[in-house]
Chains A and B, each alone.
Chain A
Amino acid sequence: MNRTSQSSSWGLFLSVLVVLALVAAACSSDDPADTTVGTSAPTTTAGSGSTDTTAPPATTAAPDTGTEVNNPGVFVHGADDEPSTLDPAQVEPGEGGETVILQVYERLLEIGESGPEPVASLATEVPTVASGLISADGTVFTFPLREGVTFHDGTPFTADDVLFSWERAMTMDLPDGAAGVLSDTVDSMRVVDDFTFEVTLQEPNAAFLNAVVPAMVSSIVSQDAVEANGGVVAGEFNEFMSGNPVGTGAYKFVAWNRGEDLQFEVYDGYWGTPANLDLRIEIGASPDIRVLGLRAGDYDTIEADPSFIGDVQGAEGVTVDGEGLTVEPIHIGFNLKFDPADLPDNDRIPDGFLNDPRVRQAFNYVFDYNAFVNAALGGFGDFNPHYIPQGIFGYDPAAPVYDQQDLAKAEELFRAAGYWDEGFSISVVTEEANLFEVAALVFKDSIDDLNNPNMEITVAAVAEAVFDDAHASDPVPYAMWVKNADPFADPNAYLDSYALPDGEWGEIHDFRAGYADADRVQTLIDSARVELDPAARAVILSEIQQVLFDDPMWLIAAQEGVVSARRDWVQGYISNPLWPRPSIRFALLDKG
């Protein structure tokens, strides 16, 4: 060997040695099977308002089971988005923070393990007229409260905390929160005694017990924790509470490592059945990595949607199933109040076009529902009537539903309305790279199926923030858009948002300019809201679904299926689509 090769060989030898040393050091590490992903970003730790990178470990003893599991003692869930807040007063329905709030906080009543009916939680019973806890006129509700409950900071739970929590949300009234759920309903509140709380409503409200009381915004927070950390300021969010939940739930918050994970430990002082395992929610893994993590056994459950099925079905040690439907229908909105000057340049929309019910019906007949459900949702989805999702009280399986593409009927309606020859060119705005964009593309293809060169749909797929900006504008600068509905537990919440002429979207889209009989729609929805007799209310809701079928303000592409992907070792799995995503109460689960 000459000297040149000797010298370079030494360099190479040393380099390889360094790498091997690193590998050797790593290979002698603690048991890799018990190693999962980790932390580094600022850690917000329960009980402190500052960053703390020395959070205690979130572990307990492994369950006494015979099956070998990864991460014994801690349940690991692979989630999608980073929460934007963990404060019930600030969280938006459907947002990632609700997942945490469901586990850490409790409400007077909760949605039970099956169905939409509320069950007792911090209240000891569900008020009824028969028990005398609801006044005869349906406006005064009395809640007997549970004694012996303590918050995670050790303070006792009393009726004062309920009053404080609800008043706090309404006082803060944050634009990004859902305080309106309470303030639009509640007239007054009072503490009767330490363990009795009374609420008077503005008017009888059939949705109060199953949509207002169990809502995340109605969670009971520790008054002491709030007052010791910034208190309550109208219109301002509380930075401490947005990152440090202090509730009474089965899980006690430990740490939030931004971009990495949220850690919780079993709350030893829990009044009910304690959780089996500590909990770690790992944040931000892309869908492919979540699937790999599930297959590797590092995740016990993952946030999944129908597009995951093919990747995990049949994988060893993994169970995949579809149980029920989400209550967030994917819909295409018809904006009757657009300003032509705001629309994209190539849009061409005849005057009064979307105001004509026949046009909106035609669009509903055009859509290829089966293509969307079978292809985009992998068969995990279904159709639902306007505008009450399956699984919600009042859903009428006999109500008419748009579930088949009928091009002949669509053409007939376009011709009858006088727009077949004139046609249109409309841009449909949607978030890019998700199911909503697929729904928009299916819609475009469906219009193309009409073979009318004068009818054109353009899909404007934009970044989420750009879409949110457009979506929050009034008027919306597009004539059509695709997204999903917010989840609610009561039909009137949907109807108020998505059908009421003077409701949330009714005003933004100007439903009054489109409904053939707006007053009738308004009257029907108003009467359903105050009707306390379930049977009578169901009849009204059924009638509403018929009216909205004839005069649709939305094209409902589908109700997406709830897909569960989990390790075989997960025990006691139960899911309710009415619980915030991923529709799981982790305290009920075990593994082994």
Chain B
Amino acid sequence: MQIRDYILRRLMVLPVLIIGVSIIVFALTRVGGSPIGVYLQTGMTQEEVTELEERFHLDDPLPVQYAYWAGGVLTGELGWSGVAAAPVTDVFLPKLAATMELAVSAALVAVVLGIALGTFAGARRNRLPDHITRVFSISGAAMPLFWFAILLLIVFWVYLGWFPIGRSDPNIFARIDHPTNLYTIDSLLAGDFGAFKDAIWHLILPAATLGYGATAIIARMMRSSLVEELQEDYVDAARAKGLPERLVLRRHARRNALIPTVTVIGLSFGFLLQGSVVAEIIFRWPGLGRWMADSVLRGDQATIMAYVLFTSVLFLVVNLGVDVIYAYLDRRVVLGE
């Protein structure tokens, strides 16, 4: 089987999975009760509550409500967010962009540093650099995210005043257009280096916080894989051929060591999305995570359903991407061996 066929086969299954996920998301959200609570105010009469239920079609049978919702999803209408006081669709994309900007920045830090540190440590097994890297990694995995985040805030925001919280300086943010809602990209598109610096300035603390935990996991996995690969016969054979150690590491051992590491990177993206909830709350980052947390606390089901559906689909797509990378790195996956 060709890689192309493999990808096509996986893509054909994707819509079925998404429909299944949407039904599960809708059903599970409704198990928590009617979403009417988020729209209610103290002292409303029963008639007023009924009026609101009619407004949001909550008086219809569940299958009809699902049809309304699914139809809305297909046309880009995801309902009204009681928490944001705006249509979910209007708020979702800018917040998604904010979250993705944070998660991708954190992932960039985690992947680059994690692979480099893992390689650095794996190539120096049981020597001082390996021990230092291990301490660094275990600390990152062990420290609660909220604790580390608040620690950074107290030091770098409150006492040193080096970094702010939030996503931007409102005045700088307002002076450029935002076609992509990704502040870093938009500032570059606008050719406004000051805005770009503002974006980076605001990204550093949350991205570092979020990326540290993932860096630790990736570095540990990379190190372990590399240590294993360096003990394989093909590595000895390469060395025996007289291949320079640099090339043995880069062309043979590291490439194979990346296979399990890529899996971890894929899973780490999930970790980053989960972690972004905490990071966004603490750093006042205006992303999906904070909005979602508020929505859960206030029972804003329109928002919850949109978020869960999105993350489910995202995971399906990311997993597909990981499988494709797997297939590229190891052809036996495609051949079903």
Contacts and interface: CB of A to CB of B under 8 A. Distances in A.
Interface of A: 2-9, 11-12, 14-15, 18-19, 22-23, 25-30, 32-42, 44, 51, 53-59, 82-85, 92, 94-95, 175-176, 235, 242-243, 255, 257-261, 263, 280, 282, 284-286, 288-289, 292-293, 295-296, 298, 463-469, 471-474, 483, 486, 497, 504-505
B160 to A, nearest CB: 10
Nearest to A286: B281
Nearest to B201: A26
B164 A4 contact: no
A94 B111 CA distance: 47
7 contacts: A12-B116, A29-B194, A34-B169, A37-B165, A235-B51, A465-B297, A471-B40
Nearest to B178: A53
Interface of B: 33-49, 51-52, 82-86, 90-91, 94-95, 97-98, 109, 112-113, 115-117, 119-120, 122-124, 150, 153-154, 157-158, 161-178, 181, 183, 194, 196-198, 200-204, 244-250, 281-282, 284, 286, 290-291, 294, 296-300
Given A42-B91, A54-B177, A286-B281, A26 B297 contact: no
Contact of A35 (B52, B164, B290): B164
A37 B164 contact: yes
A468 B40 contact: yes
A29 B171 contact: no
A293 B170 contact: no
Contacts of B109: 19
Given A296-B161, A465-B37, A40 B95 contact: yes
A292 B299 contact: no
Contact of A486 (B43, B97, B161, B247): B43
Given A30-B198, A32-B201, A242-B85, 20 more contacts: A11-B115, A15-B112, A18-B112, A30-B169, A32-B161, A35-B198, A37-B167, A37-B168, A38-B170, A40-B173, A175-B51, A243-B86, A258-B84, A260-B286, A465-B35, A466-B33, A466-B299, A469-B34, A469-B36, A505-B43
Given A29-B197, A38-B168, A3 B297 contact: no
A282 B298 CA distance: 20
Nearest to A486: B42
A540 to B, nearest CB: 24
A36 B167 CA distance: 9
B41 A92 contact: yes
Give the 10 A-B residue pairs with the shortest CB-CB distance, closest first: A37-B166, A465-B299, A38-B168, A175-B48, A465-B37, A3-B245, A3-B246, A469-B37, A26-B201, A57-B171
Contact of A7 (B51, B115, B249): B249
Contacts of A14: 112, 116
A42 B48 CA distance: 30
A555 B45 CA distance: 23
Nearest to B253: A4
B86 A12 contact: no
Contact of B90 (A51, A82, A466): A51
Contacts of A44: 86
Contacts of A84: 82, 85
A33 B90 contact: no
Given A296-B158, A298-B164, A466-B37, A23 B298 contact: no
Contacts of B90: 42, 51
Contacts of A469: 33-34, 36-37, 40, 299
Contacts of B85: 82-85, 242-243, 258
A53 B177 contact: yes
A40 B167 contact: yes
Contacts of A242: 85
B42 A471 contact: yes
A38 B37 contact: no
A463 B297 contact: yes
Contacts of B161: 32-33, 296
A42 B197 contact: no
* Most interface-central of B41, B175, B296 (chain A CB within 10 A): B41
B166 to A, nearest CB: 2
B173 A175 contact: no
A84 B95 CA distance: 18
Nearest to B296: A463
B284 A8 contact: no
A465 B169 contact: no
Given A29-B201, A288-B150, A39 B174 contact: yes
Nearest to A5: B123
* Most interface-central of B39, B85, B115, B175 (chain A CB within 10 A): B85
A465 B300 contact: yes
Nearest to A177: B41
A486 B41 CA distance: 11
Nearest to A91: B41
A406 B302 CA distance: 48
B189 to A, nearest CB: 13
Contacts of A505: 43
A469 B161 CA distance: 44
Contacts of B163: 26, 32
B187 to A, nearest CB: 11
Contacts of B98: 40-41
